[in-house]
Amino acid sequence: MSESRPFVSLATDFGAAYTAICAGVVYSIAPAANVLVLSDEITPFDVREGAMLLRQALPYLPVGVHAGIVDPGVGTPRPPVAIETGRGDVLIGPDNGLLVPAAERLGGAVRAHALENTAYRLPEVSASFHGRDVFSPAAAHVANGVDVGDLGAQVDPLPLDVPPPAARDGELTAPVLYTDRFGSLILGAEREDLTAAFGELHPGTPLDIAWTVPRPGAERITFEETFGAVGPGVPLLWIDSSGWLGLAVNQGSAAEILGLADVRTVTLRVPRL
């Protein structure tokens, strides 16, 4: 790292105590590092949500080493990986797609290497806490100046497993990326996908939204620029601060009020008269 005080961030689904242990490992190896816990509240095991948090947040953080740890495959043959980006960051975490969307936002992946070199792990590695034993030590050593190539063999990171949006005339199907703490659903589609399906939408335009899994449901909503354009308790479709489409309820939870808590895919359509 080029900074005199290297920057390290941590984003996990561990909760506060286990994440604090990871931060302690980083400090013990790289005591000069500035360590930020970006989040310890990612929904447990939700790789997709963690990936979207990193994609949204890391462009606003200083260039540094960023450890993302949402790892339901911990202890299995899935490799731990470090990805160097075009901006100069190094992303460290499990090779399960978690890091790839953020790497794309940071200038793309320049190179990626497995975390194989035992010199950059703790002396004893558990089967279930690689955040402490593998990822945090690697992040600290890279912050201290270790080259990514010294960590292990070069690899091709796995992409995040998210289906693309499907737009056709009068209809848009999109995956649910995650549900935020307000109960709003963030969809894997952007403004251009909306335009491809419906043309230029004006605020107040009605759309029908439908889903089939885990149980069929439907609702009529309007496309709006912001929450306050509708009354409290009223649902809407909007474009969030990262450019994704979102389903929300003004001053309420779309997941609860619309029954969308476990929905993974939704379809938007032009209303039938």
CATH number of the domain within which 234 lies: 2.40.30.90
Region label for 233, one of left (φ > 0), alpha (ψ between -120 and 50) or beta (otherwise) = left
In a domain, 101, yes or no: yes
Instruction: Confirm whether 160 is domain-assigned.
Output: no
* 33 and 125 within one domain: yes
Are 174 and 263 found together in one domain?
Answer: yes
115 shares a domain with 37: yes
In a shared domain, residues 189 and 139: no
Same domain, 173 and 249: yes
Domain end, chosen from 150, 185, 201, is at 150
Q: In this model, does residue 1 exceed pLDDT 90?
A: no
pLDDT at 2: 45
Q: Do 144 and 17 belong to one domain?
A: yes
Give the residue-averaged pLDDT of 179-191.
96
Residues contacting 147, CB < 8 A, separation 6+: none
Amino acid 272: pLDDT: 83
Same domain (yes/no): 104, 210 = no
- Convert the chain into a string of H (helix), E (strand) and C (coil): CCCCCCEEEEEECCCHHHHHHHHHHHHHHCCCCEEEEEECCCCCCCHHHHHHHHHHHHHHCCCCEEEEECCCCCCCCCCEEEEEECCCCEEEEECCCCCHHHHHHCCCEEEEEECCCHHHCCCCCCCCCHHHHHHHHHHHHHHCCCCHHHCCCECCCCCCCCCCCEEECCEEEEEEEEECCCCCEEEEEEHHHHHHHHCCCCCCEEEEEEECCCCCEEEEEEECCCHHHCCCCCEEEEECCCCEEEEEECCECHHHHCCCCCCCEEEEECCCC
- Residue 181 located in a structural domain: yes
In a domain, 157, yes or no: no
Residues 227 and 177 in one domain: yes
Domain boundary among 115, 150, 185: 150
Does the pLDDT at position 75 exceed 60?
yes
| Total of domains in the chain | 2
CB 33 within 8 A of CB 5: yes
Residue 241 lies in a domain: yes
Owning domain of residue 139: 7-150
Task: Say if residue 90 is in the same domain as residue 51.
Answer: yes
Asked which of 150, 178, 196 is the last residue of a domain, the reply is 150
Q: What is the mean pLDDT of residues 180-204?
A: 96
Whether residues 96 and 171 fall in one domain: no
The pLDDT of residue 82: 98
Q: What per-residue confidence (pLDDT) applies to 234?
A: 97
Distance in angstroms (rounded) separating the CA atoms of residues 25 and 31: 9
What does the pLDDT average to over 36-58? 97
pTM above 0.75, yes or no: yes
